[in-house]
A and B are shown apart, each in its own frame.
Chain A
């Protein structure tokens, strides 16, 4: 007994050590990257006008934080992204459920969905501007359009491939098609729904940035376009760095949600 307990302790210790080492190496890579970037820029090995440098980025951030314009722009992009993400999730869930409930209807629609899904959505953005005006609506629609069709197809496919015997079980208990959906298909597809959310949050960020390139007066996408036009590349690169953080943040939040749901289940 004691021996096994010791072995278990040792195993846990080794695992903790491994985890810490991995984190340390990750951090080390980041530091190296930043250091090399800063040093080469200071020594004029790379031209900091084009490539900026960590210190210039921090200076830009502090400057913009002073007059709150940084928070304003980040906030706008965040809001637009969250808004289009929520809409994507709701619309694609509802559509996939509808398609599953009406198989003939979905068979009719399938080629259209596939076509819409493979269409490069950035091609649509100029149209949205003409139709909806250069405003937030356009940006959110652009955000939605990037992920929506793929998400519908993905969810519908996964609903369809749920074990047919599960469906039969619900019928033997006197259930209806709606019961099959709500009691068997939806709960058994929660992992798929979560993984599609992970993809969608990234894609809606992409869509929102495309929208902001074309139609915004604020937001990180707008800062990138504006910065490149007036050759303030510090601004551009700072925005990109912030986008990196936002992407990681969103991904982390969905990861937490996933953990929470797994524990609740």
Chain B
């Protein structure tokens, strides 16, 4: 398998008059094509910053990032659906901005909307959607850009527990079906284990890599879903391992 992304000793700090905040230091890892990687770490350790440098929104001050030229889609912590646009128009925001609003894109948008149960709502406004539907709409908005690598920043954190389980199942399935590579940031350990194939554990600020854990569950990889993963016998072991990593 080839690396879709690799980071070498990447570091970022934020500067302000009152001082320097080192957000990330000495981050090195790589992501393989088709992989689902989770990132966990304490609040404020630089997880969102890490996604921002991968997406190219923030330049790393040290080290380097190399991609194989893949397209990157970034789903932010909150959905930020525009209330003045219908669901469909929100989803077509990306193509509209990059002036590639072709018929193909419209067909793709319709297909994704149908496939993920939002088609009947395409002319509604975001305020009429439930939390889970909003999250799916935000994901489709990212997918319409046909990214190869998806960055997900705590996409489920705004949802209640029940919805969260369902939506994470949904989104996992969508990402698998579309054959994407994904990096998921979360502070929910169960979520990290149930979705990820590998987990990058970050330390408190300044965020450095504490460990990278490969998740090997005794479930058929083809049938794996987040809900099934939670029932795997190894799940608890990984949970305890992660818990210890984050609390020592």
Chain A positions near chain B (C-beta within 8 angstroms): 163, 165-166, 168-175, 179, 183-184, 187-188, 190, 265
What's the Cα separation between A179 and B96 when bound, in Å?
10
Chain B positions near chain A (C-beta within 8 angstroms): 55, 57, 73-74, 76-78, 80, 82, 84-85, 93-94, 96-98, 141-142, 145
- Are the CB atoms of B57 and A171 closer together than 8 Å? yes
Q: Which residues of B contact A184 (CB under 8 A)?
A: 82
Q: Which residues of A contact B93 (CB under 8 A)?
A: 173, 183
What's the Cα separation between A49 and B78 when bound, in Å?
68
- Are the CB atoms of B98 and A174 closer together than 8 Å? yes
Which of A166, A179, A190 interacts with B80 by CB under 8 Å?
A166
Given A172-B57, A188-B84, A265-B84, A183-B76 contact (CB < 8 Å): no
- Are the CB atoms of B74 and A174 closer together than 8 Å? no
Q: Which residues of A contact B77 (CB under 8 A)?
A: 165
For residue A178, give the distance in angstroms from its CB to the closest CB of chain B. Answer: 10
Count A-B pairs with CB separation below 8 Å. Answer: 44
- Are the CB atoms of B76 and A165 closer together than 8 Å? yes
- Are the CB atoms of B97 and A183 closer together than 8 Å? yes
5 contacts between A and B (CB under 8 A): A165-B76, A169-B80, A172-B73, A174-B98, A175-B98
| 17 further interface pairs, Cβ-Cβ under 8 Å (given A170-B97, A190-B84) | A165-B76, A165-B78, A165-B80, A166-B80, A169-B76, A172-B74, A173-B93, A173-B94, A173-B97, A173-B141, A174-B94, A174-B145, A175-B97, A175-B98, A183-B96, A187-B85, A188-B82
What's the Cα separation between A187 and B82 when bound, in Å?
9
- Are the CB atoms of B55 and A172 closer together than 8 Å? yes
Q: Which residues of A contact B145 (CB under 8 A)?
A: 173-174
Given A166-B80, A187-B82, A173-B55 contact (CB < 8 Å): no
Q: Which residues of B contact A165 (CB under 8 A)?
A: 76-78, 80
When C-beta atoms are compared, the residue in chain B nearest to A170 turns out to be B97
When C-beta atoms are compared, the residue in chain B nearest to A182 turns out to be B97
- Are the CB atoms of A168 and B84 closer together than 8 Å? no
Grouping DSSP codes into helix (H, G, I), strand (E, B) and loop, the A interface class, with mixed when no group exceeds half, is helix
Give me the 7 closest cross-chain CB pairs, A-B, nearest first. A172-B74, A173-B94, A175-B97, A169-B80, A174-B98, A265-B84, A179-B97
What's the Cα separation between A189 and B54 when bound, in Å?
31
When C-beta atoms are compared, the residue in chain B nearest to A174 turns out to be B98
Q: Which residues of B contact A174 (CB under 8 A)?
A: 94, 97-98, 145
- Are the CB atoms of B82 and A168 closer together than 8 Å? no
What's the Cα separation between A174 and B142 when bound, in Å?
11
Q: Which residues of A contact B74 (CB under 8 A)?
A: 172
For residue A104, give the distance in angstroms from its CB to the closest CB of chain B. Answer: 16
Q: Which residues of A contact B57 (CB under 8 A)?
A: 168, 171-172
**Residue from the set A172, A173, A188 with the largest chain B CB neighbour count within 10 Å:** A172
What's the Cα separation between A188 and B83 when bound, in Å?
8
When C-beta atoms are compared, the residue in chain A nearest to B52 turns out to be A168
What's the Cα separation between A170 and B57 when bound, in Å?
11
When C-beta atoms are compared, the residue in chain B nearest to A180 turns out to be B97
Q: Which residues of A contact B55 (CB under 8 A)?
A: 172
When C-beta atoms are compared, the residue in chain B nearest to A265 turns out to be B84
Which of B76, B85, B94 interacts with A168 by CB under 8 Å?
B76
For residue A87, give the distance in angstroms from its CB to the closest CB of chain B. Answer: 27
For residue A70, give the distance in angstroms from its CB to the closest CB of chain B. Answer: 43
What's the Cα separation between A198 and B77 when bound, in Å?
36
**Residue from the set A166, A171, A174, A175 with the largest chain B CB neighbour count within 10 Å:** A174
What's the Cα separation between A166 and B93 when bound, in Å?
12
For residue A168, give the distance in angstroms from its CB to the closest CB of chain B. Answer: 6
When C-beta atoms are compared, the residue in chain B nearest to A264 turns out to be B84
What's the Cα separation between A174 and B97 when bound, in Å?
7
For residue B229, give the distance in angstroms from its CB to the closest CB of chain A. Answer: 28
What's the Cα separation between A175 and B141 when bound, in Å?
14
